[in-house]
Chain A
Amino acid sequence: MPAIEVFVCARPVALLDGTAAVDEQGTGVDPAVRRWGDDPAAAFALEAALRLRETGQVESVVCVSVGPVEYDGWLARGLATGADRALRVDLPGQGGLDARATGALLGAALGRLGARLVLTAQRSSDEQNGLLAAALAADLDAAYLANVVELRLQGDGLAVERRLERGHRQMWAADLPAVVAFEAGANRPRYVPVAALAMARHREIELLAVDELGVKPESLPRFTERVGLARGRVRVRKSAVPGAGGSAAQRLQAVMGGGDTGAGGKLLSGSTDELADRALDFLEERGLLRGRSTR
C-alpha cells in the first residue's frame, strides 16, 4: 500500500457563556458571549487517525481547518495530541460559513493536497448539521461513510463498522478516496498533557490562502438563510417536588434524584399471577414487549 496521509478536518465550536445572547440583528450570536473551544466530537476522528498511524496503516496525520486565526487553537491541540502537521485555509473574519461552503473550500484545499483519506466528526457539537462530510466527499469525488465507530484500511480501500440505533452495527466497504465521519464515543481519545498543549502553541501551522484555491467564498451558493436566533424556550418536562419532611440535604438529594415526579405509578398489590399479567399488559400497551411495534 502506498504511503497514505490521513487528513482530519474540524473547526473549533462556538461555546456560549451561561446566558446565551444574540446580536442586534437577531440572527447571530453576540460575540461578547462567544468564545471558541475545541469540538469534543472532532477528538474521536483525530484519535482514530492517530491509531491508524500507530498501527502502520497510514504514514502521517494532518489536521485541517478553514477559518480565521482563532481556529488555530484547535489545530494546536491536534498537534499536541500527536498530529504531524496542521494546516489552515485562511479565511479572515468568516467563521460563519455553512457546512456546504466549508465543504467546498476544504474540498478544494484537500484536492490540491491529493487527499485520499479524510476523517471528520459526524456532526459538530454546536451546529449539528451533519452535512460537512457528505459535502466534502462530493467535492472530492470520494466515497462517504457515515456514523463510523471503527475503521480498517484494506488494500486500496477501507472497511468500516457503523453504529445504528439500539446497539446494532452495520459494515460498509469502499475504495479510496473516502471521507469517513466518526460518531461521538467511537473511541476513547487520549489524554493531552497541558505541557504538550503549551508547546504546540509554538509549532508552525501552515497557511493556505483562499485565493490559491480558485474558489470564492462569497460566490458559493447558499441553501438556507437564518432569519432568527433566539433563546430556547424552556419547557418543563418533569417537576420534582421533595417531600416536606427530612433535612435540607435530604430534600435537595430528592430533587436531584427526581423526587416524586408524579409518574402515576399507583402501587399495585395482589397475587403473583395478577401482577405478572398487569406488567405484561403494561409492556404491550406501551409497545415495549417486542421492540418498537407500531402496527
Chain B
Amino acid sequence: MKKVLVLAEQRDGELEQVSLELLGEARRLLARRDGEIAALLFGHDIGCHALALGRHGAQKVFLVDDARLEHYDPCAWLASMERLCLQQRPDFVFLPATSSGEDLAARLAVARAWPLVARCNRVKFVGDSIETTRQVYGGKLQETTRPLAAGPLLVTVLPGVCGLRAPLDPAEGQLGTTVSVAAEFAERPAVRVTGFAAADPATLDLAEADVVVAAGRGLGAADKVGLVRELAVLLGGVVASTRVVVDIGWLGRETQVGQTGRTVKPRLYVACGVSGATQHTVGMKESGAVVAINTDPAAPIFKIADLALNADVTTLLPALIARCRQRGGHD
C-alpha cells in the first residue's frame, strides 16, 4: 500500500486552496492503487478544517494545534513533521511550494537525507518506480527524475499547477479521521520566530498584491479616487492606476500599471473607469479574474473582463463598498 502525506496550509483561519489541490493530486496518483492519503495541518484553532480536508481525500487528518503555531515556525514544524513521517512512513510527502512549504521541505530533505523534487509538475508511477517532472531553465526544458535515495519522496508543487479537483461525494464516507498531534518545541531553537507583520495595503508592493483595484479616468474627479482606495482596503488589495490618472496627478507614478508602469498578476483585478487601452492591459492581462466597470459598452477592457459591468463607477462603487462591508470584507 502506498501512502501520501500532504502538508496542508492555512492562513488567517482560511485553508489555502493549494492544500486541496495537493490532496487532489494525491488522489490522482493513487487512483488505481491501494493507498492511503493523510493530511497534516499546523496552526491554532484549526479543527474546523478537517472536514474540508477529508472531503478532498484525506483519510486521516493530523492536526498540530497550538497557539504558538499561528504562524510558521521552522524548528517546531520540522520536529513535528519529522516525527510524524518516521511514525507514519509515507512513500510521498506533498508540500505546497510556498514560503513555508518550500522551507520545510528543504529542511526535512537535508535533515533526513530524503530525496526532494522542487516545484514539480507531475508525479507518476512507471511500473513500480516513480517519475517526477518539473520545468527547468526558465521553462525551456522539462526534467524527468527518479528518486535514488531511500525514504519518502518529498515533492513541492506550486499553487495552481495541479488545479482543484471536485470534492468527494459525501456518500463515499470519506470524512477523515482526525488525529491530534502534540507540537514539539526545542528549548533553544536554531531559528527563533520573533514577529509577524501583516501586509499593509498602504505600503504593499503592487507586484506582491493579491487584489488590485485600478483607478481610471472614468472616475471623473480626483476626490473619487477615495472610493477606489476604500474598495481596495475592503478587498485587502492595493490601488493601481492608468497612465492618464498619473499624468493628471490623481495618483502617484508608483501606482501606474501598464507598458510604462508596473506589470501585475493578482488573483483579482478590479478596473474602475478604466477604458482598457493596450498600453494599460499589457500590464494586467495575466490577472486571475478581471472585474471591469465602465459606462462605455465598447470599452476594450470588457473584452478581457470576466465580469463586465456597464455602469457609472462613481455610483456603483459606493453600493459595492456598502455590500462588501455587510458581507464582511477585510476591514
Q: B residues within 8 Å of A by Cβ?
A: 11-12, 14-17, 19-20, 48-49, 52, 71-72, 74, 98-100, 102-103, 106-107, 109-111, 113-119, 131, 135-149, 190-200, 204-205, 207-211, 235-236, 267-268, 276-282, 285, 289-292, 297, 300, 302-311, 315-316, 319-320, 322-324, 327-330
Contact (Cβ within 8 A) A265 B99: no
Q: A residues within 8 Å of B by Cβ?
A: 14, 16, 20, 22, 29, 100, 123, 125-131, 133-135, 137-138, 143-147, 159, 161-175, 185, 221-233, 238, 253-254, 256-261, 263-269, 272-273, 275-280, 282-284, 286-295
Evaluate whether A290 and B145 lie within 8 angstroms (CB atoms) in the complex, with A265-B290, A269-B311, A280-B327 already known: no
Evaluate whether A226 and B145 lie within 8 angstroms (CB atoms) in the complex, with A130-B106, A256-B282 already known: yes
Report chain A residues within 8 Å CB of B328: 289-290
Report chain A residues within 8 Å CB of B207: 185
Contact of A293 among B14, B48, B140 (CB under 8 A): B14
Contact (Cβ within 8 A) B140 A100: no
Report chain A residues within 8 Å CB of B71: 170
Report chain A residues within 8 Å CB of B289: 282, 286, 288
Contact (Cβ within 8 A) A126 B308: no
Enumerate 7 A-B pairs (CB-CB under 8 Å) in ascending A order.
A144-B190, A227-B145, A232-B139, A254-B300, A268-B307, A268-B308, A279-B323
Cα A269 to Cα B148 in complex, Å, equals 60
Given contacts A263-B303, A265-B304, A279-B316, 20 further A-B contacts (CB under 8 A): A22-B141, A126-B136, A128-B136, A130-B118, A164-B72, A169-B196, A171-B194, A172-B193, A221-B113, A223-B113, A223-B116, A226-B143, A264-B306, A265-B303, A267-B302, A268-B307, A275-B319, A278-B307, A283-B235, A290-B330
Contact (Cβ within 8 A) A295 B143: no
Contact (Cβ within 8 A) B285 A167: no
Most A CB contacts (10 A, CB to CB) among B109, B114, B209 go to B109
Cα A44 to Cα B267 in complex, Å, equals 27
Cα A289 to Cα B290 in complex, Å, equals 14
Report chain A residues within 8 Å CB of B303: 258-261, 263, 265
